[in-house]
Chains A and B, each alone.
Chain A
Amino acid sequence: DTEVTQTPKHLVMGMTNKKSLKCEQHMGHRAMYWYKQKAKKPPELMFVYSYEKLSINESVPSRFSPECPNSSLLNLHLHALQPEDSALYLCASSQTGSSGNTIYFGEGSWLTVV
C-alpha cells in the first residue's frame, strides 16, 4: 500500500467551482510534488515543494494553486478549471538533499471538469 494518501479519489466539478485536492504523507519526506497524468500519457510535473517552500512551478496556469501547510500535507486548490484539465492528479513525496531519492506516489485523484 502507498504511504502517500490522496483525497478525494474522484472529483467532478463545474468550471465555476472551487475545490481542493489533498495529500498527506507520514514518511518524514520534506519534498512533495503534484503531477498531472492524462490517459495513456506519462505523469507531468506541476509543482514541487521542498521544506514547505515552493521550489518548482512548471509554468502551471494560475487556476491551479498549490499550498503546503506543513511538512506532511500538500493541497492543490482548483478554481475556474477547463474541461481539458480533466486528468489524474498525482501527489508524490521524496526525501531531500543528496542524490538517489526515490519518489513515492499516491493513488491519485481523478478529476473531471464539466
Chain B
Amino acid sequence: AQSVSQHNHHVILSEAASLELGCNYSYGGTVNLFWYVQYPGQHLQLLLKYFSGDPLVKGIKGFEAEFIKSKFSFNLRKPSVQWSDTAEYFCAVNAGSGTYKYIFGTGTRLKVLA
C-alpha cells in the first residue's frame, strides 16, 4: 500500500532562516506529488506539484521542491522563511493515472518566530 512519511512533525525557525521539510513516499510506479499548506483556521491550499519533467518544481510564495526518484523523496524548501509561513504543511501522493486516491502525510507544523 502507498504511504507518505513526513519525518519533521514540528519545526520552529526564526525569520529569514532556511527551511527544508522532508517527504518520502512508498510506491514503485509513476507518482504525482503535491505539497499543500494549511494556515491556522483555513483550508488546504496547493503550494506546488510535480507530475513530470524538471524535478525541481517552483511553487507559490517562494517555495520549491525537488523530486528525487531514487530516494522516493519530494522535499520542500524555502531559502528564507517569514512569520506568515507559520502553518501546517502536508505532502501528498497520487499514484499513477486514473486513480483518485490522494494519500497525505501526517503533516509538519511550522512555527516561524518573528
Report A's interface with B, CB cutoff 8 A: 2, 31, 33, 40-45, 48, 50, 55-56, 90, 94, 97-108
Contact = CB atoms under 8 A, between A and B. Distances in A.
A100 B100 contact: no
Given A40-B107, A40-B109, A100-B52, A31 B44 contact: no
B43 A42 contact: no
A107 B44 CA distance: 7
Interface of B: 30, 32, 34, 36, 42-46, 49, 51-52, 88, 90, 92, 94, 96-98, 100-102, 104-107, 109
A2 B34 contact: no
A101 B51 CA distance: 9
B46 A94 contact: no
A68 B105 CA distance: 28
Contacts, number: 63
B44 A43 contact: yes
Contacts of B97: 97-100
Given A90-B43, A99-B32, A105-B43, A42 B90 contact: yes
Contacts of A101: 32, 94
21 contacts: A2-B43, A31-B100, A33-B100, A40-B107, A41-B106, A41-B107, A42-B105, A42-B106, A44-B104, A90-B43, A98-B97, A98-B98, A99-B30, A99-B97, A99-B98, A101-B94, A102-B46, A103-B92, A105-B43, A107-B43, A108-B43
